Amino acid sequence: MSNHTDQDIIRLCRDPQTKERGFRILLSQYKERTYWHIRRILLDHEDANDITQDTFVKVWQNLDSFRGDSSLFSWIYRISTNESLNFLRKMKKMSTVPIEKVEYLLVDKLDNNNLIDGDDIEIKLQRYLLKLPEKQRLVFNMRYFEELKYKEISEILGTSVGGLKASYHHAIKKIEENLKID
Partner 1 sequence: MKEKKDIENISKELEGFSKLQSLKGKQPFSVPDSYFDNLEDNIISKIAKEAGPRKIRMNTKQVLFYAAAASIVAIFIFIAMRSGNQDANQPQIADQPTETINQENPIANNNNQKEESIVDQRNDENIHRIESIEKNAVAVENDKNLDIQNQEIRNNTKDNNLNHKNTSNFNYANNDLEINNDGNLNINNGQTISSINGVNTSIGNSTTIARKAVHKYLDLGNDRCSSKAIRLDASVKHARDIKYQWSTKDTTSIIIAQESGLYWVNVYDLNDNLLGSDTVTITIIEKPRPNLGGDRSICNYESILISSGCRNTEYYYKWSVSDATTAEVYLSNMDPGTYQIELSVMSCSDTATSSMILTVNDCNLKIPNVITPNGDGRNDRFIISGLNHYSGSKLYIMDRTGSIVYESIDYKNDWAASNVQEGTYFYRLLLNDGKNTEKNGTLTIIRK
Which among 4-12, 99-107, 164-172 is the span making contact with partner 1, rule CB under 8 A? Answer: 164-172
Q: Which residues contact 159 (CB under 8 A, 6 or more apart)?
A: 135, 153, 167
CA–CA separation, 143 vs 73, rounded Å? Answer: 15
Q: Which stretch binds partner 1 (CB under 8 A): 3-11, 37-45, 100-108?
A: 37-45
Contacts 24+ apart (CB under 8 A), 83-90: 83/38, 83/51, 83/54, 83/55, 83/58, 84/38, 84/41, 84/42, 84/51, 85/41, 85/134, 87/42, 87/47, 87/50, 87/51, 88/41, 88/42, 88/134
Measured at the CA of 89, the angle between CA 37 and CA 104, to 5 degrees, comes to 85
Point out which span in 2-10, 42-50, 96-104 binds partner 1 (CB under 8 A): 42-50
Tell me the residue type at 4.
H
Q: Which of 31, 66, 107, 131 binds partner 1 (CB under 8 A)?
A: 31
| CB 39 to partner 1: min, Å | 6
Q: Which residues from 72-101 bind partner 1, rule CB under 8 A?
A: 82, 85-86, 89
Among 32, 68, 71, 101, binds partner 1 (CB under 8 A): 32
- Assess 161 for contact with partner 1 (CB under 8 A): yes
| Part of the chain binding partner 1 (CB under 8 A), chosen from 4-12, 100-108, 113-121 | 113-121
107 lies in the site for partner 1, by CB under 8 A: no
Q: Does 40 bind partner 1 (CB under 8 A)?
A: yes
Which amino acid is located at 126 in the chain?
Answer: Q
Residue 78, C-beta contacts closer than 8 angstroms, at least 6 positions apart: 70, 155, 156, 157, 158
| Binding footprint of partner 1 on the chain (CB under 8 A) | 16, 20, 23-24, 27-28, 31-32, 35-36, 39-40, 43, 45, 49, 52-53, 56-57, 60-61, 82, 85-86, 89, 115-119, 121-123, 125-126, 134-135, 144-145, 157-163, 165-166, 169-170, 172, 175-180
